[in-house]
């Protein structure tokens, strides 16, 4: 041991002195091996890390797409229930009555028509929703042109000079 190592050991109170690393030593530190990239285990771990990152990205993409599809499906279901309530002035007001979309679904996820109509009626009664006014019935005689002319005169006859009239 050198005197520097002996004094360092005595100062710290260690029972055993560790020899100074030799510059010609062939052992390498694992951190040095990782920096070189020569360790075979590290190459396998690096590949596994890339694969895991790829799968995480794919998972995030699939989850994002799933969330978008769930939102789209819910919007379509809500639109269908509001279509059933189109006789109201404002069909979207039925949601203010506390109707839950999940309560209106069948086991296979479609809208149960009977449950939806009952919920719409309850919402209409509890919120006092008015029905939309019916458009007036069309008048079949409005805009009808008579089939026969009351007199034999036409517009062309009216525009002819008097001496050329029949």
Q: What is the pLDDT of residues 105-142, one digit of tens each?
A: 999 999 999 999 999 888 888 888 777 777 888 887 77
Whether the CB-CB separation of 126 and 120 falls below 8 Å is answered with no
Residue 108, both tokens? 């296979």
Q: Count CB neighbours of 94 within 10 A.
A: 25
Res 4 pLDDT > 70: no
Q: How confident is the model at residue 149 (pLDDT cuts 50, 70, 90)?
A: low
- The pLDDT assigned to 157 comes to 74
């Amino acid at each position: 041991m050198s005197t520097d190592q002996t004094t360092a050991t005595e100062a710290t109170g260690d029972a055993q002195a560790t020899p100074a690393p030799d510059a010609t030593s062939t052992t390498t530190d694992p951190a040095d091996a990782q920096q070189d990239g020569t360790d075979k285990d590290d190459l396998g771990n690096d590949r596994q890390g890339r694969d895991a990152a790829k799968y995480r990205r794919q998972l995030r993409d699939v989850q994002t797409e799933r969330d978008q599809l769930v939102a789209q499906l819910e919007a379509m279901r809500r639109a269908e229930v509001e279509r059933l309530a189109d006789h109201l002035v404002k069909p979207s007001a039925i949601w203010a009555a506390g109707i839950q979309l999940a309560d209106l679904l069948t086991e296979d996820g479609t809208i149960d028509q009977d449950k939806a109509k009952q919920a719409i009626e309850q919402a209409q009664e509890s919120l006092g929703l008015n029905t939309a006014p019916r458009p007036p019935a069309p008048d079949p005689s409005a805009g009808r042109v008579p089939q026969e002319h009351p007199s034999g005169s036409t517009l062309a006859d009216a525009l002819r000079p008097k001496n050329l009239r029949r």
